[in-house]
Amino acid sequence: MTDTQRPAIELLIAAPRGFCAGVDRAIQIVELAIQKHGAPVYVRHEIVHNKFVVDLAAGEGRDLRRGTGPSARRRAGRVLRAWRAQVGARGGEDRGLDYLDATCPLVSKVHRQAERLVASGRHILFVGHAGHPEVIGTFGQVPAGQMTLIETVEDVAKLNPADPDNLAFLTQTTLSVDDTRAIVDATIARFPTIVAPKADDICYATSNRQNAVKAIAQSCDMVLVIGAPNSSNSVRLVEVAEREGTSAKLIQRATDLDFAWLAGVGTLGITAGASAPEILVRELVDRIATRFDVTEREVEMTRETIAFKLPRGLEAA
């Protein structure tokens, strides 16, 4: 097929998209750790929810061996303190091991809030998705029984806390902004004295990427979201696009694209979850260009300038 015979397609590429500051920091920690200490560097869990990034890191000398299933995830959160004690809480005195915490600072902030609220005697209602590593990790910061998970507005109606006037709520950082607002509103309506966090727990990157998808979705015949199925923020982007009335699909790589999806599509939206690198966006655009006469336009809603500090000992590296 010649270029003149190719159907035209306009690509609306959402911005912000892709890597957030927390993911950038986590990957940088692994890279600098191997520069400073040499291979192998062991990562307790997937450094980010993206197979391309994990495989690339492993190929460059990082040993990303990790367990699978509930027990491994539980160790990533619930047994974090015990694991630190095993390797040595102050630099590995017991086994000669060093460890670096690559948890996003915004997630760590939620952990500290949970600890303070429980220490003050409050029971926490935690808005999140059961089984997500962030939820498991947050529950692992406090004694068992001190937090209750709520996933839906219907869950709020079923709650029967022992002390309804001594509650607080926190949320997972990668939720749908709209869904979470509905759950929080229902929670406050039922428990007017509940203590809210000082600032929204949903991270800036999640909110920004959802707003960017909203900005393009109604102008698109379809939206493709690049991200992993176990990436909460990526799955939420698909849901956001669909709620705007647009067909949307989650893909991990350009090779996952079925060209049959694009039949009759004149305008295609593209975005990427916070764990997906920009190279995967360009890979997708290039694949589409093998069948279509492509024009692309970036739709930028806001510019992100946030950066997080590295752990002590890595700044010099």
| 179 class by beta-carbon count within 10 Å (0-12 exposed, 13-18 middle, 19+ buried) | middle
What is the SS3 string spanning the chain? CCHHHCCEEEEEEEECCCCCHHHHHHHHHHHHHHHHHCCCCECCCCCCCCHHHHHHHHHCCCECCCCCCHHHHHHHHCCHHHHHHHHCCCCCCCCCCCCCCCCCHHHHHHHHHHHHHHHCCCEEEEECCCCCHHHHHHHCCCCCCCEEEECCHHHHHHCCCCCCCCEEEEECCCCCHHHHHHHHHHHHHHCCCCECCCCCCCCHHHHHHHHHHHHHHCCCCEEEEECCCCCHHHHHHHHHHHHCCCEEEEECCHHHCCHHHHCCCCEEEEEECCCCCHHHHHHHHHHHCCCCEEEEEEEECCCCCCCCCCCCCCCCC
Mind telling me the catalytic residues? 134
| Calpha distance 188→173 (Å, rounded) | 19
Token pair for 94: 């017991």
Q: How far is residue 268's CA from residue 286's CA, in Å, rounded to a whole number?
A: 14
